[in-house]
Structure 1
Amino acid sequence: MTDYFERDDARYTKVYKKHTPDILAAFGAFDDAVFAPEGREIPLKYRELMALAVGLTTQCAYCIDFHTEACVKAGASDAEIAEAAWVATAIRAGGGYAHGRLAFKLTEQHRH
């Protein structure tokens, strides 16, 4: 996905552990709560599909890899993953459309 992405990049977590163990632990607890298998209103499969869509939108290779696997483990079908990808695509394209309007607004301001 990128020239820098490798599956064993997690080994660099040791830098966080050494310098900011408290923040790393807090982030881990937060992430565990967000993706807890039970006890949330939105079923895990849908939370994972949302996470995948966000990863696709931000183009984070690590998130795409991790949450694709998590989607499969949570029971997401290929069709559901495809739709999540299209949702991400629509949002990303919509951002370009909406920010294009901002460019028109700024163009108008710069001409006056």
Structure 2
Amino acid sequence: MSDYFDREDDKKHVRVYKEQTPDILQAFGAFDKAVFAAEGREIPLKYRELIALAVAETTQCVYCIEAHAKRAADAGATEGELAETAWVATAIRAGGGYTHGRLGFKFSGLRNEDGTPHEH
């Protein structure tokens, strides 16, 4: 993952968003700020950051992993909570593989000797 993660050089590419879609960039910034506001939400900030970290780990976004791991720690998350977050992400990703694997059976078209569809 680290071969394309260049903290210094990558930031300059935000220029394209600023030049081409400044309204969308501003709206996204306001949306993100509202989602991760320190106060005024039902879910405490620490848990929202841990949720974001689990999603980032599942989608394997190195930028998001870095940001939300730091923010979760700043919001009071412990190493144990970070570890459990990683395991939750792992379980969800593995569960997706398992459940989507069943679709392979469903869509395979395999049939019993008598021509009836396999029961799965």
Report the TM-score when normalising by structure 2.
Answer: 0.88
Gaps of 5+ in 2: 116-120
Deviation of 1:2 after TM superposition, in Å, equals: 3.0
Paired residues, what number?
Answer: 111
Residue identity opposite 1:18 in structure 2: E
Instruction: Output aligned runs, 1:1-112, within 5 Å.
Output: 1-8=1-8, 9-107=10-108, 109=109, 111=111
Deviation at 1:32, TM superposition (A): 0.2
How far apart are 1:3 and its partner, in Å? 1.1
Identity percentage of aligned residues: 67
The whole-number CA distance in structure 1 between the counterparts of 2:69 and 2:12 is 20
How far off its partner does 1:110 sit?
5.1
Work out the CA distance in 1 between the residues paired with 2:87 and 2:96: 14
Instruction: Quote the offset at 1:38 in angstroms.
Output: 0.3
Larger Rg: 2
The RMSD of aligned alpha carbons is 1.2
